[in-house]
Chain A
């Protein structure tokens, strides 16, 4: 009952591998459904959300924070969707959106540029055009990850497994991933279920607050939500109303406290 995220460059056969893994293990597969669900929950058009997760922020967007707001919406939706396990996610930024869960199997599928170009050309693109599009797409994703998470998507240390699909076939990749998913490190235990639920609460509250209170950080352990906020924010009526409503709407939250003037821990969202 693992959670598997598959990160891939375009035309690296990542989608096919994800589908193969989901079919073999009988897991649900999530990709664009995330956008659909987040769009419905937070009333933001799918295209806007997709742009937020795909395109790197522009020079001015750095200051508008809108991309981070949409990202918080996507993260809240994804953590909720994976709460029951048995999931393969092959949409964008899965390894980052779920990075705080230690038992998620994070896979990166890569392929040589030539083979990716060849696959793109099958869609009717000229070689030059296909190459340019793939390079541009890679650059966007690299820039996005760097700007928002200060990480390089090609850094293998972000993943548990990196599979180059050139010499190995799609089936080989599916075999490796399925074997790996059955390891103890990715087992679905009570404690891990609790961790996913905690992250889901933290991300959910963050999504409720972020549009009005951008700097608020949240942790959740054992259903005890801890909100780190500035003095002014912590005592604003709107903030109090939002967190009280969230607590009422989510029965699994046992305690909720707001701390001010305290260093924010690294695992806060």
Chain B
């Protein structure tokens, strides 16, 4: 074994420091990556060129292209259109629901970011849970795990696999093709889903189904509002001519406080129609207003405040036409800046002119004192607003929701173009062996040229956190390799474990990668482990590409703790405890390792 050099020690200190920061999360993971990008050249562990090489790496370009292609497909409404037919196929049995939604999520996830695929189905699954009286905790975890497993179906399904080929370059190893991992990925998805279908009873928390109020909520958001029902609906009222004569000033916020009724539109003098009026706006005499709330509360308000409740929305019929405005359910995403802040502090009403109507937290629906409610990952906020305003809110980020496909700024007429460019990119990779990044960027560029999405929309769709996380950690991998640290650690590990069979080594690598990905990001784990395992494999005469592939796949084996973004997103709504993840995640993780190693052993 070689002597430890000062540079090796320094690299190990930097790796330990990065891992420490990943675990304690004092600063965000992407900032840790940028810190490495800057610190490594300052410490002369990599050259300045190597430090920023990650930004021009094929992995980063590929992931940018994948995100743009995903956004393009989303823009055409193709992905949203999948939701309804899938729910229809799913029917009422929990097994069928799990299979239908999980398969769809896995397919979407194989070409899109996992979190996007998971968020897409969250509101729908919540509604199914209420309507079919199936505990949410029985449905969400299988779907969430499938979203993660779906990322292993293609080489562009998740960041570690995208990164893999770049990490093989210093070793002059043959890169993997787009669908080289597909057999393993499909086997992993199938085994995961089947495991939940057959063992779900034992490994999933049983949970309970919440009652009445939530069903009403689900119904109200699902169906068009029919007056005369007891569900929250839109109602138009007129204040009396002497409304202001014999009472203290009544403001928009007062009405919500008193009756839990939200005022969505209000006429202000002389005759200005204000949509989503702010809470401090005064309600005048003889004006029309449109509210959203339970019928009994609206009737109580009309009686107490001397308002005339109309049979239909008349004065505001144009504004409340579903073509113009409506209600959406927005999921608070992990890493959202809204998490941990009270809803009121986010000033949705002032900034976007949309009205928060309720918050769906786990099985509960909150309508009172919404401003005080601290938002948590996975909370679902129902907003009313014009589609234009809701689109502005959507672009702000941090909330995951889809606008109605025919009303959103979607371009269904571009669906063929989008699909065509995706197929072309895939054909270039498979048929003509064009490099992944070039092929995918061609597809992304094609979407922009054919106006599936504009160049600005393409820029906006890119998640820069992911880009910098990837680009920032690549120099750490280079430093580990260049200074001989990876070789030294590999030799040290071999010194301890002695000679092992290749299959045993792959199992050990799989377990090691799984453990790493539970505590640090999957990208970080891949960057650190690939140089290491390739070195070990070379010494032990194991195929180094397979060793690297095991790392690339096993860093998606993140089920035991709710650290993966998808698990974090579903933890709140499913009311899961860490122990639930440990219980179900342990089984799925063990199955993952068995299936992955078996598939590699049999087919590679």
Contact = CB atoms under 8 A, between A and B. Distances in A.
Contact of B364 (A222, A234, A265): A234
Contacts of B367: 255, 257
B259 interface: yes
Interface string B173-184: 000000000000
A140 interface: no
Contacts of A254: 259-260, 296-297, 300
B260 A255 contact: yes
B374 interface: yes
A38 B109 CA distance: 62
Contacts of A257: 364, 366-368
Contact of A222 (B258, B296, B361, B376): B258
A226 B373 CA distance: 12
Contacts of A124: none
Nearest to A222: B258
B368 A260 contact: no
Contacts of A222: 257-259
A261 B296 CA distance: 29
Interface string B270-299: 000000000000000000000000001100
A224 interface: yes
A262 B260 contact: no
Contacts of B361: 260
Query: Which interface residue of B296, B297, B368 has the most chain A CB atoms within 10 A?
Result: B368
A137 interface: no
A226 B369 CA distance: 9
Contacts of A101: none
B366 A224 contact: no
B226 interface: no
Query: Which interface residue of A222, A259, A260, A262 has the most chain B CB atoms within 10 A?
Result: A259
B372 interface: yes
B296 to A, nearest CB: 8
Interface in B349-367: 361, 363-364, 366-367
Contacts, number: 44
Nearest to B367: A257
A221 B366 contact: no
A21 B366 CA distance: 46
**In the complex, which range does the number of interface residues on chain B fall in?**
10 to 19
Interface in A86-105: none
Given A254-B300, A265-B372, A259 B260 contact: no
A253 to B, nearest CB: 12
Contacts of B296: 254
Contact of B368 (A226, A234, A235, A263): A226
Interface in A215-269: 221-222, 224, 226, 234-235, 254-255, 257-263, 265
Contacts of B368: 224, 226, 255, 257, 259
Contacts of B373: 259, 262
B297 A262 contact: no
B257 A221 contact: yes
Contacts of B300: 254
Nearest to A240: B211
B508 to A, nearest CB: 39
A234 B208 CA distance: 13
Nearest to B211: A240
Nearest to B359: A259
A255 B372 contact: no
B321 to A, nearest CB: 30
Given A221-B258, A260-B364, 19 more contacts: A222-B258, A224-B257, A224-B258, A226-B368, A226-B369, A235-B363, A254-B260, A254-B296, A255-B297, A255-B367, A257-B366, A258-B364, A259-B368, A259-B369, A259-B372, A259-B373, A261-B374, A262-B369, A262-B374
Interface of A: 221-222, 224, 226, 234-235, 254-255, 257-263, 265
27 contacts: A221-B257, A222-B258, A222-B259, A224-B258, A224-B260, A226-B368, A226-B369, A235-B575, A254-B259, A254-B296, A254-B300, A255-B297, A255-B367, A255-B368, A257-B364, A257-B367, A257-B368, A258-B364, A259-B368, A259-B372, A259-B373, A260-B361, A260-B364, A261-B374, A262-B372, A262-B373, A262-B374
Report the 10 A-B pairs with minimum CB-CB distance, sorted nearest first.
A222-B258, A257-B368, A255-B260, A226-B368, A224-B368, A262-B372, A262-B373, A261-B374, A257-B366, A224-B260
